[in-house]
Amino acid sequence: MSLFLLLIIAAIVLGLIGAVAGGLGYLLVIGVVLFALDLGYGFWRLRRRPRVVR
């Protein structure tokens, strides 16, 4: 869970720096790609978790 949150924070920071700083648009793209990959990783972890039947 901490890896998921760390990647979300990194994606947000990179996206903000890329959007604000002139000439660093590639950081915005990296932030968006990292965010998308992190969401995919999170959904994959949720679906992979075994269901507990009681």
Count of structural domains within the chain? 1
Burial 10-47 (b: 16+ CB within 10 A, else e): ebeebbeebeeeeeeeebbebbeebbeebeeebeeeee
Per-residue confidence (pLDDT) for residue 2, from 0 to 100: 81
Per-residue confidence (pLDDT) for residue 21, from 0 to 100: 85
Per-residue confidence (pLDDT) for residue 19, from 0 to 100: 86
The per-residue pLDDT for range 1-54, each reduced to its tens digit, is 688 888 889 888 988 888 888 888 888 888 899 999 999 988 888 887 777 777
Q: Is 24 inside a domain boundary?
A: yes
The domain in which residue 35 lies consists of 2-48
Q: Is 53 inside a domain boundary?
A: no
Q: Is 21 inside a domain boundary?
A: yes
Give dist(CA 44, CA 31) in Å, integer.
20
Rg (CA), the chain: 15
Q: Is 37 inside a domain boundary?
A: yes
Would you call 41 helix, strand, or coil by DSSP? helix
For the question of whether the overall pTM of this predicted structure is more than 0.95, the answer is: no
